[in-house]
């Protein structure tokens, strides 16, 4: 059975969504981010990224990780590419060329987009969005996102999905990276193709199931 290590309020959400899309049976092992705990190494601390038990799974002390049988893997976006390739179906590449494009767009999201969207979501997570410092961080990140948003806007002109004529792992991976910036409505309003596409992605049953589980998780530890 597939085991997913990580809470839904983390990058593990991408893997949980992927498992829902593929209809996979899985076991969830909640692993908190150590930064959410006053003393992550305390004897009574819940399982977290600094716990020795989790270090045995991922020595990089980051979530998510998976264990698929005896196979262990880290990095959320790469995990989703692996799951798509293993289980096949419409979410995976149907040709070598499609496989290449799924990888290309996923790497694009990780390299060109996520460094900026993470700045936005962490500003909100830390309650700084209305501070002068927080507003500046968000404004700079939004400016940096204009070029990749424009590129995606152009790519989506006349097409519904990122690769091929169907929802794939590329759509899922990119939608999850862009979700971190959805607080910035003006950015999406300025790119209507991107806005419509991400709304379509998030209307899927798999996404809604993931978000329902996420909503049940406590925000505070």
Mean pLDDT, the chain, as a whole number? Answer: 97
Query: Cis omega before residue 64 (within 30°)?
Result: yes
Q: Enter the pTM of the model.
A: 0.97
Examine the pLDDT at 221 and tell me if it is beyond 80. no
Chain segment 167-196, per-residue pLDDT in tens: 999 999 999 999 999 999 999 999 999 999
Instruction: Outline where 57-127 has alpha helix (H).
Output: 76-87, 96-108, 114-125
The pLDDT tens digits of the residues spanning 66-123 come to 999 999 999 999 999 999 999 999 999 999 999 999 999 999 999 999 999 999 999 9
- Residues spanned by CATH 1.20.1050.10 within the chain? 96-206
Residue closest to 33 by CA, chosen among 129, 135, 124, 122 = 122
- Interatomic CA distance for residues 188 and 98, integer angstroms: 27
Task: Classify 2-87 by CATH class.
Answer: alpha beta
Confidence of residue 219 (pLDDT cuts 50, 70, 90): confident
First to last CA, the chain: 28
Containing 29, the helix (H) or strand (E) segment is: strand 26-29
Q: At what angle do helices 169-179 and 114-125 cross, to 10 degrees?
A: 40
- In sequence order, the 6+-apart residues with CB closer than 8 A to the CB of 113 are 145, 148, 174, 177, 178
Token pair in block for residue 158:
């006349």
Q: Is domain 96-206 in CATH 1.20.1050.10, yes or no?
A: yes
At 4 the pLDDT is: 98
Q: Are 120 and 135 in contact (CB under 8 A)?
A: no
- Looking at residue 60, its pLDDT comes to 97
pLDDT in tens, 142-168: 999 999 999 999 999 999 999 999 999
């Amino acid at each position: 059975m597939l085991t997913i290590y990580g809470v839904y309020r983390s990058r593990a959400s991408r893997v949980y969504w992927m498992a829902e899309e593929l209809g996979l049976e899985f076991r969830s092992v909640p692993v908190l981010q150590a930064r959410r705990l006053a003393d992550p190494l305390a004897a009574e601390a819940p399982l977290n990224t600094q716990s020795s038990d989790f270090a045995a799974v991922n020595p990089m002390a980051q979530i998510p990780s998976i264990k698929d049988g005896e196979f262990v893997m880290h990095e959320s976006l790469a995990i989703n590419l692996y799951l798509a390739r293993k289980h096949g179906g419409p979410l995976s590449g149907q040709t070598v060329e499609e496989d290449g494009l799924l990888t290309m767009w996923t790497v694009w999201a990780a390299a060109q987009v996520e460094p900026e969207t993470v700045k936005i979501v962490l500003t909100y997570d830390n309650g700084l969005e209305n501070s002068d410092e927080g507003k500046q961080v968000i404004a700079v990140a939004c400016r940096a996102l204009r070029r990749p948003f424009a590129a995606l806007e152009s790519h989506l002109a006349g097409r519904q999905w990122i690769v091929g004529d169907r929802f794939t792992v590329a759509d899922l991976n990119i939608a999850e990276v862009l979700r971190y910036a959805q607080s910035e409505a003006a950015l999406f309003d300025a790119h209507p193709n991107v806005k419509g596409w991400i709304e379509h992605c998030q209307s899927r049953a798999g996404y809604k199931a993931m978000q329902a589980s996420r909503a049940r998780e406590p925000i505070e530890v």
